[in-house]
Amino acid sequence: MAEEKTRSLHVPGNLHAPEKTLDLLHELQVHQIELEMQNEELRKTLAELDTSRSQYFDFYDRAPVGYSTINLEGQILQANLTTARLLGTERSSLLKQPFTRFILKEDQDTFYLLCKKLVEDESAISCELRMTRPDGTQFWARIEAILVNNEIGEPLLRIVFSDISALKQNEEDLRVAAIAFESQLGIMVSNADGIIIKVNQAFTTLTGYSAEEAIGQKPHLLSSGRHSKAFYQSMWSTLQTTGYWQGEIWNRRKNGKIYAEWLTISQVSAPDGHVSHYIGTFSDITANEDAAAEIHRLAYYDPLTNLPNRRLLEDRLNQALASAYRSHMYGVILFLDLDNFKLINDTRGHAVGDLLLIEVARRLHQVVRKGDTLARLGGDEFVVIMENLSVDIQQTTVLIEQIGEKILIELARPYLFKGYEFHCSASIGAGVYCEHQETSEELLRHADIAMYHSKKAGRNTLRFFDPAMQAAVSIRAALEKDLRHALEQSQFLLFFQSQVNHDGEIIGAEVLVRWRHPERGLVSPQDFIPLAEDTGLILPIGQWVLDTACAQLKLWENTEATRHLQLAVNVSARQFRQTGFVEQVKQSITQHTINPALLKLELTETLVLDNVDDTIAKMSQLKEIGVRFSMDDFGTGFSSLAYLTQLPLDQLKIDQSFVRNMGVKPRDAIIVQTIIGMANNLGMEVIAEGVETEAQRAFLEEHGCPSCQGYLFSKPVPVEQFETLLAQ
């Protein structure tokens, strides 16, 4: 265009000079305007080019995939920002790096093969491999590559790659789901309308219907006609409310055979909450008859002895009661508890214990009649139900006694296991029934109570339940209920019974607890201490006694006349055995800041013997701070000199039964003398309790026991009365 303009300046020379100049000027001006216009166009084009170039770079950098160019040595020459982001690094630090640095070692061969193939074929090619970032994290990448040449004809690789980890995960999930779907369980998937859309191979095996036959049908296809409409209605309503149903259902196979299946239906909901599918999984349980029998056996029989267990026993007992109601005949349930099973089990081991139980079951089988029920309740407890004994109660009783005797003899015969001989007996309680209104549970309890009385009567014997036993149990239960609140309602109080020396001077007292029951009046410790022991209530009660005694000692400290008094406190076995007993005593002493030497703890022989080592340890710890110990009811237990010498005792307390009988049984007088001699020889004090007569006191004094406690001096009395006694 510029050339054309230049040419058009050489116009014909027939014009005058000034005119020519003007024309030329004009033309120049036009030309300049045109040039400026052209310039403007060029600038615009350049600007447009600039914009699209930066647009290109934007697209390039922010593309959802990584673009990079590498040379044939594998060095990265160029990379977009996405590459840097995917590889978890800065773009600048990518340049000149080998691309394989970001490929997992195990997958680098895949990449080399890709490159090799590309150079040979020069076609676009792709692969999947795992890439790794400098921070150690990994991801699955899909890589596509092409071969290009640069300006100077060098071959380069253009690489496009993307993160396909999520895709890979989905694939894997699908693969697992597909394997799970082809499990041993029949599976059927139906849509929200209940139309079957998918079944597995096991479905076909179990039902006989192929996938083609089942798909498009409703599960009704399998219906056996055995269940009522109500059954299916309740199934659907459960499914709708809980999203889940499980149960046994009878269905029909394609060949018409009815079978039982265990079916679980789960509802699948779409994210918006609407039900999208139902999945039914089922197994054929008709084939499991053996398993069912085994399950039944486990549920109703004791695995060790194969005898019916408690569940089956209750069933049988109910049947027996119903049949007695019709036949008017008496029957009995015998409750058996082995007498020394625990000891054998603990000392000889559980294997021997098991053998013993099996043998007991065998012997019982031999004794009871065919048709009687023999059951094991657990542990060493067995029950026999004998029905239709007689219509006459006398005859029934005789029969029961005969059978009971047989059982006792049979079970008491020696047992021989592993070359050792064992001895074991049983205590039996009998609960007779006829057309009574008792429930099976009550009957079982009656027999249990009677068994307990057999134990109390010395074991290896049989006792019949009688209502008086029940009354005793009820009283005990009521008392126990009250005892639980006695402490918080301050119903306990302490009585003091004086202990005197040879001059008849009071040197101290034994504190004896009393329970002031709102209805029963004063309850003797003999009636509630055993109960408190059994229930564990002895712990807080014992603590209260100890505390109250210490508080009393503290009060007495203030007065000359009482400052020297000692208090003897009874300690029961459970209280002594509890961990922390020593600390509790120490705490009471420090809390009340009393002189520990004024506190004497009374222990019994049975308590001490139960665990001599623990006893010595605890006694020694308390002796260290000055607490004293007396052996209560001495002579009634099985004390041996051997352990008596080991115990840090201060005093022996001769039991009142010997004192009472001193004048009656010469043997008891000798025992008393022996105890006194023993105490003297061991360097211990001795005191006699239950001294009621002057003769007794005189005898004791004569034989070296001047300290006494008993009604002769005072009964146990409240503290005020005791203090009056002191003043006299």
Residue 261 interacts with Mg ion (CB under 5 A): yes or no: no
Stretch that binds Mg ion, among 236-244, 459-467, 596-604, 609-617 (CB under 5 A): 596-604
Candidates 68, 190, 454, 570: give the one binding ligand C2E (CB under 6 A).
570
Pick the closer one to Mg ion by CB: 255 or 638. Answer: 638
Q: At what angle do helices 393-412 and 350-367 cross, to 10 degrees?
A: 140
Stretch that binds ligand C2E, among 203-211, 463-471, 579-587, 685-693 (CB under 6 A): 685-693
Pick the closer one to Mg ion by CB: 387 or 510. Answer: 510
Residue 380 interacts with Mg ion (CB under 5 A): yes or no: no
Stretch that binds Mg ion, among 349-357, 444-452, 607-615, 624-632 (CB under 5 A): 624-632
Residue 317 interface partner, choices Mg ion, ligand C2E, none, CB cut-off 5-8 Å depending on type: none
H or E stretch covering 362:
helix 350-367
Please check whether residue 62 is in contact with residue 81, taking contact to mean a CB–CB distance below 8 angstroms: yes
Candidates 284, 387, 448, 602: give the one binding Mg ion (CB under 5 A).
602
Q: Please, what is the minimum distance in Å from the beta carbon of residue 475 to ligand C2E?
A: 18
State the binding string over 483-512 for ligand C2E (x if CB under 6 A, else -). Answer: --------------x--------------x
State the binding string over 695-714 for ligand C2E (x if CB under 6 A, else -). Answer: --------------xxx---
Q: How far is CA 641 from each of CA 356, 606, 635, rounded to the nearest angstrom?
A: 36, 15, 12
Residue 331 interface partner, choices Mg ion, ligand C2E, none, CB cut-off 5-8 Å depending on type: none
| Residue 176 neighbours by CB under 8 Å, 6+ apart | none
State the binding string over 510-539 for ligand C2E (x if CB under 6 A, else -). Answer: --xx----------xxx--x----------
Pick the closer one to ligand C2E by CB: 66 or 635. Answer: 635
Phi-psi region of 414 (alpha: psi -120 to 50; beta: other; left: phi over 0): beta
Candidates 464, 633, 639, 688: give the one binding Mg ion (CB under 5 A).
633
Q: Tell me the two tokens of residue 45.
A: 């084009």
Q: Which of residues 574-633 bind ligand C2E (CB under 6 A)?
A: 602, 632-633
Candidates 89, 543, 570, 651: give the one binding Mg ion (CB under 5 A).
570
Residue 635 interface partner, choices ligand C2E, Mg ion, none, CB cut-off 5-8 Å depending on type: none
- The per-residue b/e assignment along 320-345, b for 16 or more CB within 10 angstroms, e otherwise, is bbeebeeeebbbbbbbbbbbbbeebb
User: How far is 405 from 407, CA to CA, in rounded Å?
Assistant: 5
Q: Please, what is the minimum distance in Å from the beta carbon of residue 562 to ligand C2E?
A: 20
Pick the closer one to ligand C2E by CB: 436 or 665. Answer: 665
DSSP string, 384-404: EEEEEEESSHHHHHHHHHHHH
Query: What single-letter amino acid sits at 293?
Result: A
DSSP string, 569-633: EE--HHHHHSTTHHHHHHHHHHHHT--GGGEEEEEEHHHHHHTHHHHHHHHHHHHHTT-EEEEEE
User: How far is 487 from 540, CA to CA, in rounded Å?
Assistant: 8
Cross-strand pairs, 277: 191, 268
Please check whether residue 648 is in contact with residue 683, taking contact to mean a CB–CB distance below 8 angstroms: no
Q: Please, what is the minimum distance in Å from the beta carbon of residue 410 to Mg ion?
A: 42
Between the two ends of the chain, the Cα-to-Cα distance in Å is 152
Residue 265 neighbours by CB distance under 10 Å: 22
Please check whether residue 588 is in contact with residue 511, taking contact to mean a CB–CB distance below 8 angstroms: no
Q: Please, what is the minimum distance in Å from the beta carbon of residue 651 to ligand C2E?
A: 13
Residue 664 interacts with ligand C2E (CB under 6 A): yes or no: no
Q: Which of residues 539-558 bind ligand C2E (CB under 6 A)?
A: 542, 545
Pick the closer one to ligand C2E by CB: 46 or 522. Answer: 522
Pick the closer one to Mg ion by CB: 548 or 570. Answer: 570
Residue 500: which of 696, 667, 648, 681 has the closest Cα? 696
Stretch that binds ligand C2E, among 110-118, 184-192, 210-218, 568-576 (CB under 6 A): 568-576
Please check whether residue 110 is in contact with residue 126, taking contact to mean a CB–CB distance below 8 angstroms: no
Residue 692 interacts with ligand C2E (CB under 6 A): yes or no: yes
Pick the closer one to Mg ion by CB: 190 or 572. Answer: 572
Pick the closer one to Mg ion by CB: 377 or 512. Answer: 512
Pick the closer one to Mg ion by CB: 372 or 632. Answer: 632
Residue 536: which of 610, 473, 477, 480 has the closest Cα? 480
Q: Please, what is the minimum distance in Å from the beta carbon of residue 626 to ligand C2E?
A: 21
Q: Please, what is the minimum distance in Å from the beta carbon of residue 630 to ligand C2E?
A: 10
Sign (positive or negative) of CA dihedral 11, 13, 18, 19:
negative
Pick the closer one to ligand C2E by CB: 239 or 573. Answer: 573
Q: Please, what is the minimum distance in Å from the beta carbon of residue 588 to ligand C2E?
A: 14
Q: Which of residues 274-333 bind Mg ion (CB under 5 A)?
A: none
Residue 383 interface partner, choices Mg ion, ligand C2E, none, CB cut-off 5-8 Å depending on type: none
Please check whether residue 345 is in contact with residue 352, taking contact to mean a CB–CB distance below 8 angstroms: yes
How do strand 330-338 and strand 381-390 relate by DSSP bridges? antiparallel
Residue 440 neighbours by CB distance under 10 Å: 20
Radius of gyration in angstroms for the set of CA atoms belonging to the chain, rounded to a whole number? 51
Q: Please, what is the minimum distance in Å from the beta carbon of residue 644 to Mg ion?
A: 17
Residue 552 interacts with Mg ion (CB under 5 A): yes or no: no
> Count residues contacting Mg ion (CB under 5 A)?
4
Residue 605 interacts with Mg ion (CB under 5 A): yes or no: no
Candidates 89, 251, 373, 572: give the one binding ligand C2E (CB under 6 A).
572
User: How far is 405 from 460, CA to CA, in rounded Å?
Assistant: 10
Q: Please, what is the minimum distance in Å from the beta carbon of residue 675 to ligand C2E?
A: 15
User: How far is 267 from 235, CA to CA, in rounded Å?
Assistant: 12
The SS3 call for residue 312 is: helix
The SS3 call for residue 98 is: strand
User: How far is 696 from 659, CA to CA, in rounded Å?
Assistant: 7
User: How far is 442 from 433, CA to CA, in rounded Å?
Assistant: 11
User: How far is 427 from 445, CA to CA, in rounded Å?
Assistant: 15
Candidates 359, 632, 671, 714: give the one binding Mg ion (CB under 5 A).
632
H or E stretch covering 149:
strand 138-149
Candidates 585, 690, 699, 705: give the one binding ligand C2E (CB under 6 A).
690
Pick the closer one to ligand C2E by CB: 497 or 651. Answer: 497
User: How far is 553 from 176, CA to CA, in rounded Å?
Assistant: 80
Q: Which residues bind ligand C2E (CB under 6 A)?
A: 497, 512-513, 524-526, 529, 542, 545, 570-572, 602, 632-633, 656, 689-692, 709-711, 716
Q: Which residues bind Mg ion (CB under 5 A)?
A: 570, 602, 632-633
